Amino acid sequence: MKIIPVKIPNIAKTLLPNFTWNIDTLNKELYLTFDDGPTPEITDWVLSQLKTYKAKATFFCIGNNIEKHPDIFQKVIKDGHSVGNHTYNHLKGWKSKTEDYLEDVEKTQLLINSNKAKIVINKLESNPSNLKLFRPPYGKFKPNQSKQIRKLGYKIVLWEVLPFDWDKSVSEETCLKNITSTAKQGSIIVLHDSVKASRNLKYVLPRVLEYYSKRGYCFNAITS
């Protein structure tokens, strides 16, 4: 079994207060997030699983994938989930010039906005058009990139629980335990609707939904 840190320590939240790590709540609710989609078959499967449990989630999408699969992206919105920006090319911020990084982010936001505009307005009630969510690929970027992105009006969302679903050296059972042993009220959990993560995701997601639903939790999208 691979031993990995899956929960963000409180010191990180204290040192980086401008990021959203979890949602403050007294209710039994969790926040599932999915990075790297939309991906044919996998994202559709995720949407089906969420619908079974009347769960809502937040999808941080890669612009290039939105452009290639607009029908799947629009389905995410129509199903009442929130969407966020994950750059156009899944850029490594620390290896990118800030100007290029911001251009990549804004290119993706234009795609998000144009696709939202194609959907009937009453389908967007839970997805405010003025809410701009952003998550940096790999959870890393330069301080100046972070500062500039916040100046552009983005809410930067990181996470509290990282189960490493994309890591093929992590077994399905360990990936599941990484969540169930760690997530609590208000936790933001990162999963990936990608080919790389599909083995673990298809094992973990239905079990997480069932496990927490039986314990009285609901699953909400990030909407503010």
Say how far apart CA 160 and CA 188 lie, in whole Å. 5
Quick one: 151 exposed, middle or buried, by C-beta within 10 A (0-12, 13-18, 19+)? Answer: exposed
Q: Is 192 a catalytic residue?
A: yes
Say how far apart CA 51 and CA 44 lie, in whole Å. 11
Catalytic residue, chosen from 69, 81, 86, 192, is: 192
Say how far apart CA 60 and CA 143 lie, in whole Å. 21
| Helix (H) or strand (E) run with residue 30 in it | strand 29-35
Phi/psi of residue 153, nearest 5 degrees: 95, 15
Say how far apart CA 169 and CA 163 lie, in whole Å. 12
- CB distance 194 to 166 below 8 Å: yes
Q: Nearest Cα to 165, choosing from 218, 205, 135, 133?
A: 205
Catalytic residue, chosen from 24, 35, 71, 79, is: 35
Q: Nearest Cα to 135, choosing from 188, 194, 64, 209?
A: 188
- Tell me the catalytic residues: 35, 192
